[in-house]
Amino acid sequence: MGKPTGFMDYEREVAGAEPPKERVKHFREFHQHIPLERQQLQGARCMECGVPFCQSGVTLAGMTSGCPLHNLIPEWNDLVYTGNWVEAYKRLKKTSNFPEFTSRVCPALCENACTCGLYGDPVATKENEYAIIERAYAEGYAKAEPPKVRTGKRVAVVGSGPAGLAVADLLNRRGHEVTVYERADRIGGLLRYGIPNMKLEKHIIDRKLKIMEQEGIRFVTNADIGKEVKAQKLMKEYDRVVLACGAANPRDIAAEGRDAKGIYFAVDFLTAATKSLLDSNFEDKAYIDTKDKDVVIIGGGDTGNDCVGTSIRFGAKSVTQIEMMPKAPDARAENNPWPEWSKVCKTDYGQEEAIAIFGHDPRIYEATVKEFVKDKGGNLKAVKIVKLSWEKDAESGRMCMKEIPGSEQTLPAQICLIAAGFLGAQRYVTDAFGADLTERTNVKTAPGSYGTSVPNLFVAGDIHSGQSLVVKAIREGQECAKEVDKSLLGYTSLSVQ
Q: What integer is the mean pLDDT of 60-73?
A: 96
Domain count for the chain, please give it. 3
Instruction: Report the share of the chain in percent with pLDDT over 70.
Output: 99
Q: At what angle do helices 73-82 and 85-95 cross, to 10 degrees?
A: 170
Pair (470, 337) in one structural domain:
no
Residue 496's pLDDT is 61
Q: How far is CA 254 from CA 371, 378, 442, in A?
A: 9, 17, 22
Pair (11, 122) in one structural domain:
yes
Pair (267, 414) in one structural domain:
yes
Pair (106, 193) in one structural domain:
no
Q: Look at residue 370 and tell me if it is in a domain.
A: yes
Q: What integer is the mean pLDDT of 134-157?
A: 97
Residue where a domain terminates, one of 116, 139, 162: 139
The sign of the CA dihedral 471, 345, 125, 349 is: positive
- Taking only the tens place, the pLDDT of each residue in 229-285 is 999 999 999 999 999 999 988 999 999 999 999 999 999 999 999 999 999 999 999
**β-pairing verdict for 415-418 and 294-298:** parallel
Pair (271, 414) in one structural domain:
yes
pLDDT bracket for residue 401 (50, 70, 90): confident
Q: Look at residue 184 and tell me if it is in a domain.
A: yes
Pair (290, 206) in one structural domain:
no
Domain containing residue 164: CATH number: 3.50.50.60
Residue 442 in this model has a pLDDT that exceeds 90? yes
pLDDT bracket for residue 497 (50, 70, 90): very low
Q: Look at residue 145 and tell me if it is in a domain.
A: no
Domain containing residue 34: CATH number: 1.10.1060.10
List of residues 6+ apart from 447 with CB closer than 8 A: none
Contact present, 415 and 262 (Cβ < 8 Å): yes
Q: Look at residue 189 and tell me if it is in a domain.
A: yes
Residue 391's pLDDT is 86
451: left (phi over 0), alpha (psi -120 to 50) or beta: beta
Domain of residue 325 covers: 263-418
- Taking only the tens place, the pLDDT of each residue in 446-465 is 999 999 999 999 999 999 99
Pair (135, 163) in one structural domain:
no
Residue where a domain terminates, one of 367, 388, 418: 418
Instruction: Report the share of the chain in percent with pLDDT over 90.
Output: 92
From the CA atom positions of the chain, what is the Rg in Å? 23
Cα–Cα dist 491/483, whole Å: 9
Give the SS3 label for residue 349: helix
Q: Which helix (H) or strand (E) holds 411?
A: strand 409-412
List of residues 6+ apart from 272 with CB closer than 8 A: 286, 287, 288
Q: Look at residue 56 and tell me if it is in a domain.
A: yes
Tabulate helix, strand, coil % of the chain (nearest 5).
35, 20, 45
- Taking only the tens place, the pLDDT of each residue in 404-430 is 999 999 999 999 999 999 988 899 999
Pair (134, 160) in one structural domain:
no
Pair (274, 358) in one structural domain:
yes
Pair (267, 411) in one structural domain:
yes
Q: Look at residue 253 and tell me if it is in a domain.
A: no
Contact present, 308 and 299 (Cβ < 8 Å): no
Residue where a domain terminates, one of 418, 440, 461: 418
Cα–Cα dist 373/255, whole Å: 10
Q: Look at residue 208 and tell me if it is in a domain.
A: yes
Pair (285, 365) in one structural domain:
yes
Pair (134, 163) in one structural domain:
no
Q: Look at residue 395 and tell me if it is in a domain.
A: yes
Contact present, 216 and 147 (Cβ < 8 Å): yes
Average pLDDT over all residues of the chain: 95
